[in-house]
Amino acid sequence: MNAERIYRLLLRAYPRDFRAEYGREMMLVFRDQCEESDVRTVGFWAAVICDVARSAPALRVEATRTAEVIMKLAAMLTVLLGAYDIVSAVVEWVAGSKGAIDGTYVLAVVLGVFASVLLLGAGVAILLRTPWSRQAARLALVASLVMTLAARLLFPWMSIFSQLIGFGLPVGLLIALYWPRRPSTVRPA
Partner 1 sequence: MGTKRRADRPPEAYLPLPPATFHILLALADGELHGYAIMKGVAARSEGTVRLGPGTLYGSLKRLLEAGLVEEGGERADPERGDERRRYYRLTPLGLSVVRAEARRLDAMVRAARRKKLIGERPA
* C-beta of 31 vs 104, nearer to partner 1: 31
**Other Cβ atoms closer than 10 A to 35:** 8
Cβ of residue 156: shortest distance to partner 1, in angstroms?
41
- Amino acid sitting at position 63: A
Separation between Cα atoms, residue 176 and residue 183, nearest integer Å: 16
Cβ of residue 181: shortest distance to partner 1, in angstroms?
11
CB-CB contact of 18 with 63 (8 Å): yes
Cβ of residue 128: shortest distance to partner 1, in angstroms?
7
Cβ of residue 88: shortest distance to partner 1, in angstroms?
29
Separation between Cα atoms, residue 151 and residue 179, nearest integer Å: 28
Residues that bind partner 1 (CB under 8 A): 14, 18, 21-22, 25-26, 28-30, 32-33, 47-48, 50-52, 54-56, 58-59, 128-131, 183-189
Cβ of residue 66: shortest distance to partner 1, in angstroms?
17
CB-CB contact of 89 with 109 (8 Å): yes
* C-beta of 79 vs 169, nearer to partner 1: 79
* C-beta of 156 vs 188, nearer to partner 1: 188
Find the helix or strand (DSSP H, E) in which 159 lies. none
* C-beta of 57 vs 172, nearer to partner 1: 57
Cβ of residue 116: shortest distance to partner 1, in angstroms?
23
Chain centroid offset of residue 140 CA = 16
- Amino acid sitting at position 181: R
Separation between Cα atoms, residue 160 and residue 142, nearest integer Å: 20
> DSSP state, 118?
H
- Amino acid sitting at position 157: W
* C-beta of 7 vs 155, nearer to partner 1: 7
* C-beta of 67 vs 171, nearer to partner 1: 67
